[in-house]
Structures are given as C-alpha cells and as structure tokens.
Amino acid sequence: MKYNRFEELPVWQTAIKLAERVFTLVEDRSFNQKGDLRSQLQRAATSISNNIAEGFERGTTQELLTFLYIARGSAGEVRSMLILLERLPYFDHLKSQISDLKSLAESISRQVRAWADSLQSSDIKGQRYLSERVRQEHEQKRRATAFLAELDRIRTGSLPDRRAGGDASS
C-alpha cells in the first residue's frame, strides 16, 4: 500500500498512541520529584513518531532510513526506561501499564525494522529522485513481476480449476 502522508502510516499511529500513553503514565504521583525521568521518557516517546514523520517527509530513501533508525533507537530508549521503572519499587502499582507500554514499544521497533529492511532492498532512491520516466520504469517492472508470478501459478497448476464449480456447460 502506498501512503501519501505520514499520518496514514500504521507505525506512526502506533507511535503516537505510545506517546499519549506515556504522557498519561507520567502524570502518576510516583513521578513527582523524578522530573528528569519523566521528561526523558516523554522526549524519547515523542521522538519515535517525530522521526518517522521527518524521515517520511524528507523525500529520499536514504534519509528516511536514517530517521527510521533514529526512531527505532528512541523506541529502544523508551523500553530501557520502562524496564528501569519495573525494577523500582515506587512504580510497583504501575506494572501492568508499564508492561503494556513496553509491548507497544517493542511492536514499534519490529515495524520500523521491517520497513527499514524492505527499503534497504528497494531500488527507488525516493520521491525526490522520481522523474516520470523512472516512475514508469518502476511500474513496468512491478507489472512484469506480477505477470510472471501469475504465469508461474498457471504453469504449476496452483490456480483453482474453473470447471470445478459445477459449470453446467461442461
């Protein structure tokens, strides 16, 4: 699927959800007198969605990859801080919320990694470099690949037999 805006990206949406939930978590009274921890957790959580957005808007695959890895690093930072919170006794009553946030951050890391891996193997340099000719060539390659895959399915017989549906004319 092609996304035109970063707001449409499922991973960005998940990252925003994580940031919202982190901001809610740090409102708990246990974070009083622990301002640096609160602030760092908030900044790391917002860094994930912000770097995904910035990379998406840059216009080149290489810049997008750079920002995706920064976002992934921030997701790791969030997870690290959440692990610390799990180990500190004054956050015991938040264990369930912390565990949920950790899972969300792990999910974001996996999504970003998968996206980055797919970009690594792409021959497209990014929107900034796409002339009409390059777009047409890429579309022709995509159609040719799909056509060859369809031919292969027909050749190997993996298509359902169209006569098997009880066609009265057979």
| pLDDT at residue number 166 | 46
Local confidence band at 135 (pLDDT 50, 70, 90 cut-offs): low
Structural domain that includes position 147:
124-158
In a domain, 114, yes or no: yes
Q: How far is CA 76 from each of CA 2, 25, 64, 111, rounded to the nearest angstrom?
A: 27, 18, 18, 13
pLDDT mean over 128-140: 63
Contact 78, 59 (CB under 8 A): no
Cα separation, 60 vs 126, in Å, equals 4
- Indicate whether 44 and 56 sit together in one domain: yes
User: What tokens were used for 81?
Assistant: 């801080």
- Indicate whether 23 and 10 sit together in one domain: yes
| pLDDT at residue number 67 | 97
Handedness of CA 139, 9, 47, 45 (dihedral sign): negative
Q: What is the number of domains present in the chain?
A: 2
- Indicate whether 67 and 135 sit together in one domain: no
In a domain, 167, yes or no: no
- Indicate whether 109 and 132 sit together in one domain: no
- Indicate whether 15 and 88 sit together in one domain: yes
Cα separation, 66 vs 56, in Å, equals 10
- The answer on pLDDT for 168 being more than 50 is no
> Could you tell me which residues come within 8 angstroms of residue 74 by beta carbon, excluding any fewer than 6 positions away?
44, 45, 47, 48, 51
Local confidence band at 131 (pLDDT 50, 70, 90 cut-offs): low
Q: Which residue has the higher pLDDT, 125 or 104?
A: 104
For residue 89, give the DSSP letter.
G
- Indicate whether 69 and 146 sit together in one domain: no
- Indicate whether 46 and 10 sit together in one domain: yes
In a domain, 21, yes or no: yes
- Indicate whether 134 and 50 sit together in one domain: no
- Indicate whether 17 and 68 sit together in one domain: yes
Handedness of CA 87, 93, 97, 99 (dihedral sign): positive
DSSP string, 134-154: HHHHHHHHHHHHHHHHHHHHH
Task: Write the single-letter amino acid at 109.
Answer: S
- Indicate whether 74 and 147 sit together in one domain: no
- Indicate whether 131 and 88 sit together in one domain: no
In a domain, 164, yes or no: no
- Indicate whether 107 and 30 sit together in one domain: yes
Q: Which residue has the tokens 């690949």?
A: 145
